[in-house]
Structure 1
Amino acid sequence: MKIAIPNNENMINQHFGKSKSFIITTLEDDKIVNAEKISSVELLHQHQGLADLLVKNGVDVVIVGGIGAGALTALRQKGFKVIRGASGIYTEVIKEYINGNLEDKNVVCNHHGEHSHQ
């Protein structure tokens, strides 16, 4: 089984569509046997493109913090199981998932049209 998580260093990126990379972990016998970082810089805000990238990498489950409705729809249309509302260090979140303690929190973001001026 493969799990994809949008990341910011070793933490889950809370903005799926703004994530510049994803960690894709391979699980065997409830253990992480491989983890690789893939770039998604060229696909920022391209919901279908991000979904296709994860399909190409053989992902089964996508664990996210926040995600917009468009991205969520694109992932579900590709058959991914999506777990929303996760946060923290991605390896700890994967352990929670393996142990059956990670629940979908039904979090959908609506940030379209908003721009921060920092």
Structure 2
Amino acid sequence: MRIALPTENGRVNQHFGRSREFVIFEMDGEQIRNRETVSTASLQHNHEGLAELFKNKGVDTLILGGIGPRAVEALQQYGIRVLTGASGGVEEVARAYARGDLVSRDVLCDHGHDHSCNH
């Protein structure tokens, strides 16, 4: 299983569209088998480009804080499962997902001028 999380200082970045880095974990049960950090600075707000990048990296699930509905749609079109409402350290969140302890909270962002999220 390969999962990706937006990261900032080792924690889940709460704004998908503003994330400049994602960490991709290859999981073996609850154990992190491999970890890769990918810069996405050139793809910020490029939903199709991000979805294609994750698909090419073999990511099947994206775990994040908040995300806009158009980004969710782009990711789902590439067959990537999206879980929202996550917070905390990326490794801790990845392990919680692997254990089945992480539940999506449907946190969608309003991409108006202030980029606020409806938590």
- What TM-score does the superposition give when structure 2 sets the normalisation length? 0.92
Alpha-carbon distance in 2 for matches of 1:107, 1:55: 22
Per the alignment, residue 100 of structure 1 pairs with 100
Alpha-carbon distance in 2 for matches of 1:89, 1:29: 18
Q: Which amino acid aligns with 2:12?
A: I
Are the counterparts in 1 of residues 16 and 64 from structure 2 also a CA contact under 8 Å? yes
1:14-39: CA deviations, max 9, x gaps?
00011001000001233111111001
Deviation for aligned residue 1:52: 0.7
Aligned pairs (5 A) from 1:11-90: 11-90=11-90
Give 3-state SS (helix, strand or coil) of 1:67's partner: coil
Over the aligned positions, Cα root-mean-square deviation in angstroms equals 1.4
Identity of paired residues, percent? 43
- What TM-score does the superposition give when structure 1 sets the normalisation length? 0.93
Alpha-carbon distance in 1 for matches of 2:105, 2:51: 20
**Which contiguous aligned blocks of 4+ residues in structure 1 show a shift greater than 6 angstroms?**
none
Unpaired segments ≥5 residues, structure 1: none
Q: Which amino acid aligns with 2:15?
A: H
Are the counterparts in 1 of residues 29 and 99 from structure 2 also a CA contact under 8 Å? no
